[in-house]
Amino acid sequence: MTKFYYQFRLSPSKRSSLTFLLALVTENCHPWLKSAVNTLIKCEGQIFRFQVVMEQNPALKDCKAIKVVDEATMRKINKLYQTQFGMRTVETLEMRLKTYLECPFIIAPSVLEELKS
């Protein structure tokens, strides 16, 4: 697992594929672990998208919100989730989260596709 977390510190050219996580999966392991590992491998490009965003927007390089989600931010997100804060559309959700969390908020294209279906 530490190797997985170290991948976030590496540049895209030095980062290895997440297929090494398959070593965690055995025949007898919990189905959720299998599903989690498969999801991580499948969505690898989206997981490390923050690095691409920083390359495209150098002004965001010093913005910690792109790399780290701290406990205070998670509490805010949980509060938003509990109250739903008037977020019935994706556009409203994005606008309110950007304002409330005071950081860039990116919705993955795959999430948008899931919402359409």
- What are the DSSP calls for 7-56, one per residue? TTTS-TTTPPPGGGGGGG--TTS-HHHHHHHHHHHHTHHHHTHHHHHHHH
Q: Are residues 12 and 40 in the same domain?
A: yes
Q: How far apart are CA 100 and CA 109, in angstroms?
A: 22
pTM: predicted TM-score of the whole model, two decimal places: 0.48
Domain-embedded: residue 56: no
Domain-embedded: residue 52: no
Contact yes or no for 77/85 (Cβ under 8 A):
no
Domain that residue 10 falls in? 1-47
Question: Dihedrals φ, ψ of 11, to 5°?
Answer: -75, 155
Per-residue pLDDT of 48-102, as tens digits, reads 877 777 778 777 777 766 666 667 777 877 777 666 656 677 787 777 777 777 7
Please report the pLDDT score of residue 24 as a whole number.
Answer: 85
Per-residue pLDDT of 2-58, as tens digits, reads 787 788 788 778 888 888 888 888 888 888 888 888 888 988 888 887 777 777 877
Please report the pLDDT score of residue 64 as a whole number.
Answer: 66
